[in-house]
């Protein structure tokens, strides 16, 4: 296991601790010098307005089916990117199961052997689909469904741990693929990681697929379909009741006590927000967050899926829009802040030990299938035998609004106002507190056609921090750095958010954040400006994050 090291990548001394609300108390017992600047946002000022189906053939090591994921995922992600020239690159190869090693667990974790029992790897062929399984929204399922699902989980939990279909081993699949059990084949120094890249969506789709099939098999119902936690829709914006019944096998005691139903979820959550009650406008703010992540920021497939992750690449090249938010934020919101590592949902080694994990991921998978209709027409879930029950998409029209009214924007060039007080930052810089910097725009006032062909992307490059921290910072464009706005306003361009997942050796993670800003700049009336003023607001982990640069690039 990796040694715990607080040596900062740039050997910069962390700044003084300001608040302790952002990491679990046990973090501080051992690491009392960890800084934790909790930025106080000022919301008041922000209101602008069969036969081959191995899961069904008894005691087959279904995890060896997953081993094919590396290749399948790479291929799948590539297919999803359509005509992207990157599609020609080699995908990350599937791991060598005979070389599965111990996973890396953070201090205080309850470890497990995350490696699957070794058996022969077979190619999985999808069975032909006679009837589609329909995944229902978790808040709307009836008693009969809850009884059936509970029974399925009960049976899965009752299987001996040595059984690859057991709940323990299913949870361990997640641990193996994100806590360093595998190296990339041919690259012994590169961990295989299924998060923070374009592997994220296809990996989890297949992961859920087999989990669902096993549950169906255990209760003798081939049409059993997992429920999705529709936290993107008002009736689903709380922990679904079926998971909150303490007597149910769907219950997990390692969840945040202050986030039990009917507490409304905060999709822009960071662990700095623990104990902060939801605002009265939480539902509409969540809808704005969904709009931003699904529509304005994720217009380009690469931004939506995440960065290419190819053979020989370092892990974590960059997450797609929905991986960061709401995926990561929902993990952290659900995990128990009194546990050393926000177990279970708030840390990737333990996340899949909570049955709610699979409903969280059903929703992420569904959000992907929604996008599919206008991003690409491959990757049909129907071939996997399931669809999602049709529900309203309430965030489609929840476009964030500029905090300054149109008339004000017209009078003052947005950037001119802020430029006077903003200097250019010298990178690399440690994010001790809020920073603002001027970023030149290589192109401005582009035609509608140019904008359709190329998305203007704000790239926060070389984000480095310790892997085991739930760090979050928000990115604002042309905002007031003294009182940055919330997700309900256009100036809030997006967030960077890490779910801790621990890693062998050096715990420093290095990744990038890309945010589409074409729509935002139009909304702000700033499309004719030569520059943008970018403000980075650390919400959690200030002093632990360094940034190597901020640039504007164009992605076609």
Q: What is the largest CA-CA distance in the chain?
A: 70
Pick the catalytic residue: 8, 39, 139, 174? 174
The rounded distance, in Å, linking the Cα atoms of 326 and 287 is 11
The contact mask relative to ligand C2O for 322-351 (x = CB under 6 A, - = no) is -----x---x----------------x--x
Is the CB of residue 68 less than 8 Å from the CB of residue 94?
yes
Nearest C-alpha neighbor of 357 from the set 514, 239, 271: 239
Q: Output 149 or 349, the one with its CB closest to ligand C2O.
A: 349
The token pair at 499 is 């779910």
- Least separation in angstroms between residue 245's CB and ligand C2O is 23
Q: Which residues of 411-431 are buried (b: 16+ CB within 10 A; e: fewer)?
A: eeebbebbbeebeebeeebbb
- Least separation in angstroms between residue 174's CB and ligand C2O is 5
Task: Give the sheet arrangement for strand 472-477, strand by strand.
Answer: 435-440, 531-540, 472-477, 492-497
Near ligand C2O by CB under 6 A: residue from 41, 174, 259, 366: 174
195 counts as catalytic: yes
Q: Does 39 bind ligand C2O (CB under 6 A)?
A: no
Q: Does 195 bind ligand C2O (CB under 6 A)?
A: yes
Task: Residue 153: count other Cβ atoms within 10 Å of its Cβ.
Answer: 20
Q: Output 177 or 291, the one with its CB closest to ligand C2O.
A: 177
* 3-state class (DSSP) for residue 263: coil
174 counts as catalytic: yes
Size, binding site for ligand C2O by CB under 6 A: 9
- Least separation in angstroms between residue 328's CB and ligand C2O is 8
- Least separation in angstroms between residue 78's CB and ligand C2O is 20
Annotation-wise, does 33 bind a ligand?
Answer: no
Q: Output 356 or 515, the one with its CB closest to ligand C2O.
A: 356
Nearest C-alpha neighbor of 208 from the set 386, 15, 441: 386
* 3-state class (DSSP) for residue 511: strand
Q: Does 255 bind ligand C2O (CB under 6 A)?
A: no
Pick the catalytic residue: 348, 465, 492, 496? 348
Which residues have C-beta within 8 Å of that of residue 195, sequence separation ≥ 6? Answer: 178, 316, 319, 323, 348, 499, 501
Pick the catalytic residue: 39, 139, 361, 501? 361
139 counts as catalytic: no
327 counts as catalytic: yes
Segment holding 459, helix H or strand E: strand 455-466
33 counts as catalytic: no
Residues in binding site? 174, 195, 204, 327, 331, 361
Question: Which residues are part of the catalytic machinery?
Answer: 174, 195, 204, 327, 331, 348, 361
Which residues carry a binding-site annotation for Cu cation?
Answer: 174, 195, 204, 327, 331, 361
């Amino acid at each position: 296991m990796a040694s715990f090291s607080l040596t900062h990548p740039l050997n910069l001394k962390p700044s003084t601790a300001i608040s302790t609300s952002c990491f679990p108390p046990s973090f501080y017992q051992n690491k009392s010098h960890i800084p934790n600047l909790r930025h106080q946002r000022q919301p008041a000022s922000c209101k602008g307005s069969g036969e081959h189906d191995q899961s069904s053939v008894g005691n087959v090591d279904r995890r060896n089916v997953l081993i094919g994921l590396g290749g399948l995922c790479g291929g799948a992600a590539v297919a999803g990117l359509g005509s992207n020239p990157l599609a020609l690159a080699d995908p990350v190869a599937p791991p060598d199961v005979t070389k599965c090693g111990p996973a890396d667990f953070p201090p205080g974790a309850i470890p497990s052997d995350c490696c699957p029992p070794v058996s022969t790897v077979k190619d999985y062929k999808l069975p032909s689909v006679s009837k589609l399984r329909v995944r229902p929204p978790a808040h709307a399922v009836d008693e009969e469904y809850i009884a059936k699902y509970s029974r399925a989980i009960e049976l899965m939990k009752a299987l001996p741990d040595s059984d690859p279909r057991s709940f323990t081993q299913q949870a361990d699949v997640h641990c193996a693929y994100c806590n360093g059990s595998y190296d990339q084949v041919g690259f012994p120094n590169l961990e295989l990681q299924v998060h923070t890249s374009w592997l994220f969506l296809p990996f989890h789709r297949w992961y859920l697929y087999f989990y669902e099939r096993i549950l169906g098999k255990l209760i003798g119902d081939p049409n059993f379909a997992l429920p999705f936690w529709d936290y993107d829709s008002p009736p689903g914006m709380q922990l679904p009741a079926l998971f909150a019944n303490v007597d149910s096998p769907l219950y997990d005691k390692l969840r945040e006590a202050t986030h039990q139903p009917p507490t409304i979820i905060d999709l822009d959550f960071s662990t700095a927000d623990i104990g902060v009650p939801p605002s009265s406008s939480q539902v509409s703010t969540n809808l704005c967050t969904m709009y931003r992540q699904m529509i304005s920021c994720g217009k380009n497939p690469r931004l939506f899926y995440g960065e290419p992750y190819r053979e020989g690449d370092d892990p974590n090249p960059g997450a797609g829009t929905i991986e960061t938010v709401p995926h990561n934020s929902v993990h952290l919101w659900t995990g128990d802040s009194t546990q050393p590592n926000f177990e279970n949902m708030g840390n990737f080694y333990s996340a899949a030990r909570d049955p709610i994990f699979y409903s969280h991921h059903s929703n992420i998978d569904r959000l992907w299938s929604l996008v599919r209709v206008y991003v690409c027409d491959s990757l049909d879930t129907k071939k996997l035998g399931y669809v999602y029950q049709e529900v309203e998409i309430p965030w489609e029209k929840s476009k964030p609004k500029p905090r300054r009214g149109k008339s004000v924007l017209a009078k003052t060039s947005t950037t001119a106002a802020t430029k006077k007080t903003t200097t250019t930052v010298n990178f690399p810089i440690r994010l001790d507190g809020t920073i603002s910097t001027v970023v030149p725009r290589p192109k401005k006032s582009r035609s509608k056609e140019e904008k359709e062909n190329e998305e203007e992307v704000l790239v926060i490059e070389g984000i480095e921090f310790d892997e085991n921290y739930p760090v979050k910072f928000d990115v604002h464009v042309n905002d007031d750095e003294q009182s940055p706005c919330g997700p309900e306003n256009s100036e809030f361009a997006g967030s960077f958010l890490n779910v801790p997942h621990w890693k062998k050796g050096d715990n420093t993670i290095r990744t990038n954040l890309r945010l589409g800003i074409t729509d935002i700049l139009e909304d702000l009336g700033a499309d004719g400006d030569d520059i943008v003023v970018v403000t980075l607001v650390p919400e959690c982990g200030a002093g632990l994050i360094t940034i190597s640069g901020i640039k504007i690039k164009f992605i076609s």
